[in-house]
C-alpha cells in the first residue's frame, strides 16, 4: 500500500506513503484512485484531503520506475487526475514540504489547494529535457498567470509556496496555513463538503479557469528570445514557451493533446536521453556496490589541509563554505600568508560581484586557522594533503600525520598521479587513507574523484562520499591506476590531438571542431589554461616507463620554446597581458610545419568529424578499459567524471552515453578506419574487449 486511507469525521484523508519523497509510482497511483473511489462510495464522507506522509507532498514521478512498464501502467498520472476531477465530493490537496513535477500536477487536479509555508514548488521536467506531461503546462498558467507560470516551467527551479501565494490574482493556493497543516486542511475540506453537498457539478476545476495576457504576441516573442540565449543545445525550454502559448490560445483539451505530443516527442530526443542519463548517473555514482548505504560513518567536524598552494586553498574554501573549521598547514610563513590572502581575495571578489555578503566572508575567514605546527592538526577528523606532487614529499607528510593525528581520522591525498596505495603504506593505518582528487579551481569544479586504495576501509569511503555531498561535489569512486579515471582518459585524447597536428591540423582548427561539438574548451586551449608543463612532466615519465607508447613531439617542442600557456603569456596561442582570449600564433604554426617537414609528412585536410571522433572515441576506448578493469564501477561513472570535471557537453550525456547514441557497432567501425591510418597508433585503436563484446552483442554501455 503506498497511500493510506483514514476517515476523520466526514473527511477521508488520503496520505501518500512512498518514501522518501512520495514518488507517484504505480502502487501509489492505484491507492489514490482507490481512495477517491471509496470516499465517493461512502455516504458518511463529504470531502477528501490528499496530503503527503513524511517530509514531502510528492516529488513527482518515481525515478525507480524510470524505463520500467510500471511507469506508464494505468492509472497513469493523467488518468488519475481525471479521477480526481470527476469526484463528486470536493478534494483538497494539503500541500506539505516538497511539491514537484507530477506532485504539483496532481495538486492542480484537485478542487482546492491549501499549503504550508516554505513548501518547495516546482515543475523541474525541463531539467531532464522534457516539458511537464500531465497538464502542468496547461493548468499552471490558469492559476498563476502566463508569465509567472512560464518562469516556473522554463526554469525548473523551486519557488516557495508563500511567494506563489503572493502573486496577484493567483488561484494556485486557496490558503497558506501557518501551524498544523493537516487539521486545518481537514476543517477546510469539511466546510467545502457542506458547501458543495449535492452540487458536485459546480465544484471548481482548474481546467475551467480562463487564462489571458494583455499583450501575448510581444510577450511570447520576448520569452522565445530569452530562452534561445539560455539553452542553445536543448530543445525543451523553447517547447515550454510553445506549450504555455497553447494554453493561452487554444481550448484546454487541445492544449492537453499538444502537451502530450510534445512530451512524447521530446522523450525521444538525444538531448533528453542525455539529461535523463546524467540525472540517473549522478545518483548511481553516489553508490558503491560493496559499501551498503547503512555503513556507519565517521564524524567530520574539523578539517585540516596540508599545503596552502593552488589546490590547498581551493580545497579549504569548500569546507569553509560549508561551515566547517579548517586548519591549513604550511612549511613557511610566507607560503601560508600567500595562501590565506588568496582565499580572502577570492571571497572579496565574490562580495564585489554581489554573490556573497560581507558578514559571510568574515564568518568563513574566522573558521580558517593557518598554522606552521602539526600539533594544530592533531585533532582533525579529516586531513587532506595537497603538497608538491613528489613521492618523497608526500612520504614525509604522511609519516608525520601518522605520528601526530588522532586515531580514526581520515587521511586523504589530493595527488593527481601518484600511487595512493604506496602513500597509504607510509602509515600504520592504510585503512584510513584515501585519495580525494579535487579539480582546479577546487572551489568551483564539481568533480571529486574518490580514489579507493586496496586497504581503504568501507566506513572511510561512506564518510567521504557523504562529506562530498555536504561540500556540494559530485563524487565518483576510482580505483588506483595512473591518472585515475579522468586523467588516464585525457592522456589518450591529448595524444590524438597531437597526432592531428602532425597530420595537418592547426591547434585552432582542432579546438574549434571540439568546441562546436559542445566541449567548453578544446584540448589546446585547455592545455594553455592548465599549463603545458604539467603534461610535459608526465610525458617525460612515460618515455621511460612506456617507451613503446608514441606521442607527437609537438607538445614537447612547444614547452622547449618556453610556451607553458597562459601563465607565461604564450602557449599553443598568444596571450595579451590581462586578457584570456587565445590568439593564433604564427610561431606555433611554423613549429608544427617544421616538425611535419622533419617527419616527411604532407599535410592533409582533416574534417571536423574526424577530429571530434578521434578525440571522443579515444576517451570511449580508454573508458571501456577502465570499466572492464573495475577502476570505475560502471560506465555512467565515467560520464559523470567527464560532465563535471572536463567540460564534456551535457547535451551529449558524457563519452560513454554519446558512444551508445552513435551505436557501438558504428563506433567500432570508425575505430577500424582510424587504425588503418599509418600516422596514428593502430594498437590503441583495437577496440577494448568490453567495447568489442558489447558491439558484437548489439548492446550498449549505459
Among all residues, which ones are annotated catalytic?
105, 125
Compute the least distance from the CB of residue 665 to ligand NAI, in Å.
37
**Interface with ligand NAI (CB under 6 A), residue from 330, 381, 449, 622:** 330
Q: Which residue is nearest to ligand NAI (CB)?
A: 309
- Nearest CA to 413 out of 433, 441, 390 is that of 433
CA within 13 Å, CB half, 391: 10
Q: Which CB atom, from 330 or from 381, has the smaller least distance to ligand NAI?
A: 330
Confirm or reject binding of residue 440 to ligand NAI (CB under 6 A): yes
Q: Which CB atom, from 200 or from 538, has the smaller least distance to ligand NAI?
A: 538
CA within 13 Å, CB half, 570: 10
Compute the least distance from the CB of residue 520 to ligand NAI, in Å.
16
Compute the least distance from the CB of residue 142 to ligand NAI, in Å.
51
Q: How far apart are CA 459 and CA 454, in angstroms?
A: 14
Q: Which CB atom, from 321 or from 371, has the smaller least distance to ligand NAI?
A: 371
**Interface with ligand NAI (CB under 6 A), residue from 143, 153, 300, 311:** 311
For 287, phi then psi, to 5°, come to -105, 135
Q: What residues contact 392, with CB distance under 8 A and at least 6 apart? A: none
Task: Scan residues 269-308 and list those touching ligand NAI (CB under 6 A).
Answer: 306-308
Q: How far apart are CA 172 and CA 149, in angstroms?
A: 10
- Nearest CA to 198 out of 90, 41, 48, 111 is that of 90
Per-residue burial over 66-77, b if 16 or more Cβ lie within 10 Å, else e, is eeeeebeeebbb
Compute the least distance from the CB of residue 338 to ligand NAI, in Å.
7
The window from 131-139, 160-168, 317-325, 414-422 that contacts ligand NAI (CB under 6 A) reads: 414-422
Confirm or reject binding of residue 565 to ligand NAI (CB under 6 A): no
Q: How far apart are CA 340 and CA 424, in angstroms?
A: 29
- Are 628 and 475 in contact, with CB atoms under 8 Å apart? no
Compute the least distance from the CB of residue 334 to ligand NAI, in Å.
9
The window from 11-19, 310-318, 490-498, 640-648 that contacts ligand NAI (CB under 6 A) reads: 310-318
Interface pattern 361-400 for ligand NAI (x via CB under 6 A)? -------------------------xxxx---x--xx---
DSSP letters, 172-239, are: S-SEE--S-HHHHHHHHHHHHHHHTTT-GGG---GGGS----SSHHHHHHHHHHHHHHH-TT-SHHHH
Task: Scan residues 156-175 and list those touching ligand NAI (CB under 6 A).
Answer: none
Compute the least distance from the CB of residue 260 to ligand NAI, in Å.
47
- Nearest CA to 557 out of 518, 589, 509 is that of 589
Q: Which CB atom, from 397 or from 500, has the smaller least distance to ligand NAI?
A: 397
Size of the site for ligand NAI (CB under 6 A): 25
Q: How large is the C-alpha radius of gyration of the chain?
A: 29
Torsion of CA 26, 32, 36, 42, to 10 degrees: 110
Q: How far apart are CA 10 and CA 669, in angstroms?
A: 69
Q: Which CB atom, from 307 or from 655, has the smaller least distance to ligand NAI?
A: 307
Compute the least distance from the CB of residue 245 to ligand NAI, in Å.
47
Confirm or reject binding of residue 340 to ligand NAI (CB under 6 A): no
**Interface with ligand NAI (CB under 6 A), residue from 30, 71, 280, 335:** 335
Compute the least distance from the CB of residue 531 to ligand NAI, in Å.
8
Write down the H helix ranges in 568-607.
586-599
Confirm or reject binding of residue 414 to ligand NAI (CB under 6 A): yes
Q: Which CB atom, from 378 or from 557, has the smaller least distance to ligand NAI?
A: 378
The SS3 of residue 58 is strand
Grid coordinates belonging to 247: 494554453
The window from 88-96, 317-325, 436-444, 543-551 that contacts ligand NAI (CB under 6 A) reads: 436-444
Q: How far apart are CA 70 and CA 29, in angstroms?
A: 11
Compute the least distance from the CB of residue 646 to ligand NAI, in Å.
12
The window from 242-250, 293-301, 353-361, 435-443 that contacts ligand NAI (CB under 6 A) reads: 435-443
600: left (phi over 0), alpha (psi -120 to 50) or beta: left
Grid coordinates belonging to 327: 586548519
Compute how many other C-beta atoms are within 10 angstroms of the C-beta atom of residue 516. 12
DSSP 8-state assignment for residue 681: -
**Interface with ligand NAI (CB under 6 A), residue from 76, 331, 346, 670:** 331
Confirm or reject binding of residue 435 to ligand NAI (CB under 6 A): no
Compute the least distance from the CB of residue 649 to ligand NAI, in Å.
22
DSSP 8-state assignment for residue 686: S
Confirm or reject binding of residue 346 to ligand NAI (CB under 6 A): no
Grid coordinates belonging to 175: 490558503
Q: Which CB atom, from 71 or from 335, has the smaller least distance to ligand NAI?
A: 335
Q: What is the largest CA-CA distance in the chain?
A: 94
Residue that is written with C-alpha cell 607565461 in the block: 568
Q: Which CB atom, from 305 or from 690, has the smaller least distance to ligand NAI?
A: 305
- Nearest CA to 99 out of 47, 48, 162, 39 is that of 162
Grid coordinates belonging to 573: 596561442
Compute the least distance from the CB of residue 19 to ligand NAI, in Å.
38
Confirm or reject binding of residue 416 to ligand NAI (CB under 6 A): yes
Q: Which CB atom, from 63 or from 393, has the smaller least distance to ligand NAI?
A: 393
Q: Which CB atom, from 196 or from 439, has the smaller least distance to ligand NAI?
A: 439
Helix (H) or strand (E) holding 450: strand 447-451
- Are 8 and 186 in contact, with CB atoms under 8 Å apart? yes
**Interface with ligand NAI (CB under 6 A), residue from 262, 415, 509, 636:** 415
The window from 182-190, 277-285, 438-446, 643-651 that contacts ligand NAI (CB under 6 A) reads: 438-446
Which residues of this chain interact with ligand NAI, rule CB under 6 A?
A: 306-312, 329-331, 335, 386-389, 393, 396-397, 414-416, 437-440
Amino acid at each position: 500500500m503506498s497511500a493510506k486511507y483514514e476517515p476523520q469525521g466526514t473527511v477521508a484523508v488520503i496520505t501518500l506513503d512512498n518514501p522518501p519523497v512520495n514518488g507517484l509510482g504505480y502502487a501509489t497511483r492505484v491507492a489514490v484512485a482507490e481512495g477517491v473511489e471509496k470516499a465517493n462510495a461512502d455516504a458518511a464522507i463529504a470531502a477528501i484531503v490528499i496530503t503527503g506522509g513524511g517530509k514531502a507532498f510528492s516529488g513527482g514521478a518515481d525515478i525507480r520506475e524510470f524505463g520500467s512498464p510500471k511507469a506508464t501502467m494505468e492509472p497513469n498520472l493523467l488518468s488519475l487526475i481525471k479521477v480526481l476531477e470527476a469526484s463528486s465530493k470536493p478534494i483538497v490537496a494539503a500541500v506539505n514540504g516538497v511539491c514537484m513535477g507530477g506532485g504539483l500536477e496532481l495538486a492542480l487536479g484537485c478542487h482546492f489547494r491549501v499549503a504550508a509555508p516554505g513548501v518547495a514548488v516546482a515543475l523541474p521536467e525541463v531539467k531532464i529535457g522534457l516539458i511537464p506531461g500531465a497538464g502542468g503546462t496547461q493548468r499552471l498558467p490558469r492559476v498563476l498567470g502566463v508569465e509567472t507560470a512560464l518562469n516556473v516551467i522554463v526554469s525548473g527551479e523551486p519557488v516557495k509556496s508563500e511567494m506563489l501565494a503572493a502573486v496577484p490574482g493567483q488561484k494556485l493556493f486557496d490558503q497558506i496555513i501557518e501551524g498544523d497543516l493537516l487539521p486545518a486542511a481537514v476543517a477546510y475540506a469539511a466546510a467545502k463538503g457542506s458547501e458543495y453537498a449535492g452540487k458536485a457539478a459546480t465544484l471548481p476545476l482548474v481546467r475551467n479557469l480562463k487564462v489571458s495576457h494583455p499583450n501575448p504576441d510581444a510577450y511570447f516573442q520576448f520569452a522565445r528570445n530569452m530562452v534561445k540565449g539560455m539553452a542553445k543545445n536543448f530543445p525543451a525550454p523553447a517547447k515550454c514557451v510553445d506549450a504555455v502559448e497553447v494554453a493561452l490560445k487554444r481550448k484546454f483539451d487541445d492544449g492537453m493533446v499538444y502537451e502530450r505530443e510534445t512530451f512524447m516527442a521530446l522523450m525521444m530526443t538525444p538531448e533528453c536521453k542525455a539529461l535523463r542519463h546524467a540525472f540517473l548517473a549522478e545518483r548511481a555514482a553516489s553508490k558503491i556496490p560493496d559499501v551498503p548505504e547503512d555503513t556507519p560513518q565517521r564524524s567530520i567536524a574539523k578539517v585540516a589541509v596540508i599545503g596552502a598552494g593552488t589546490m590547498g586553498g581551493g580545497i579549504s574554501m569548500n569546507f569553509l563554505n560549508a561551515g566547517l573549521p579548517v586548519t591549513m598547514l604550511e612549511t613557511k610563513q610566507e607560503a601560508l600568508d600567500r595562501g590565506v590572502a588568496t582565499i580572502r581575495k577570492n571571497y572579496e571578489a565574490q562580495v564585489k560581484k554581489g554573490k556573497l555578503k560581507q558578514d559571510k566572508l568574515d564568518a568563513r575567514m574566522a573558521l580558517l586557522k593557518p598554522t606552521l605546527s602539526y600539533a594544530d592538526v592533531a585533532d582533525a577528523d579529516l586531513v587532506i594533503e595537497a603538497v608538491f606532487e613528489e613521492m618523497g614529499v608526500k612520504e614525509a607528510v604522511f609519516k608525520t600525520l601518522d605520528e601526530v593525528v588522532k586515531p580514526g581520522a581520515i587521511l586523504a591525498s589530493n595527488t593527481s598521479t601518484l600511487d595512493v596505495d604506496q602513500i597509504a603504506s607510509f602509515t600504520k593505518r592504510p585503512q584510513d587513507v584515501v585519495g580525494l582528487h579535487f579539480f582546479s579551481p577546487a572551489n568551483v569544479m564539481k568533480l571529486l574523484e574518490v580514489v579507493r586504495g586496496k586497504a581503504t576501509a568501507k566506513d572511510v569511503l561512506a564518510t567521504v562520499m557523504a562529506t562530498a555531498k555536504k561540500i556540494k561535489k559530485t563524487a565518483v569512486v576510482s580505483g588506483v591506476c595512473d591518472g585515475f579515471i579522468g586523467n588516464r582518459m585525457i592522456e589518450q585524447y591529448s595524444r590524438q590531438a597531437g597526432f592531428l597536428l602532425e597530420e595537418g591540423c592547426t591547434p585552432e582548427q582542432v579546438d574549434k571542431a571540439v568546441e562546436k561539438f559542445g566541449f567548453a574548451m578544446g584540448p589546446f586551449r585547455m592545455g594553455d589554461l592548465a599549463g603545458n608543463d604539467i603534461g610535459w612532466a608526465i610525458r617525460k615519465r612515460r618515455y621511460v616507463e612506456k617507451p613503446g607508447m608514441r606521442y607527437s613531439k609537438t607538445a614537447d617542442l612547444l614547452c622547449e620554446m618556453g610556451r607553458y600557456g597562459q601563465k607565461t603569456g604564450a602557449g599553443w596561442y598568444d596571450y595579451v597581458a590581462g586578457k584570456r582570449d587565445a590568439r593564433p600564433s604564427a610561431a606555433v604554426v611554423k613549429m608544427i610545419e617544421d616538425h611535419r617537414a622533419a617527419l616527411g609528412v604532407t599535410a592533409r585536410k582533416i574534417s571536423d568529424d574526424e577530429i571530434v571522433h578521434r578525440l571522443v572515441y579515444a576517451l570511449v576506448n580508454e573508458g571501456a578499459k577502465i570499466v572492464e578493469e573495475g577502476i570505475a564501477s560502471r560506465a555512467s561513472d565515467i560520464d559523470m567524471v567527464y560532465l563535471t570535471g572536463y567540460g564534456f557537453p551535457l547535451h551529449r550525456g558524457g563519452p560513454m552515453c554519446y558512444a551508445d547514441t552513435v551505436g557501438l557497432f558504428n563506433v567500432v567501425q570508425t575505430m577500424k578506419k582510424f587504425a588503418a591510418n599509418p600516422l596514428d597508433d593502430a594498437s590503441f585503436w583495437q577496440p577494448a574487449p568490453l567495447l568489442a563484446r558489447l558491439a558484437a552483442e548489439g548492446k550498449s554501455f549505459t
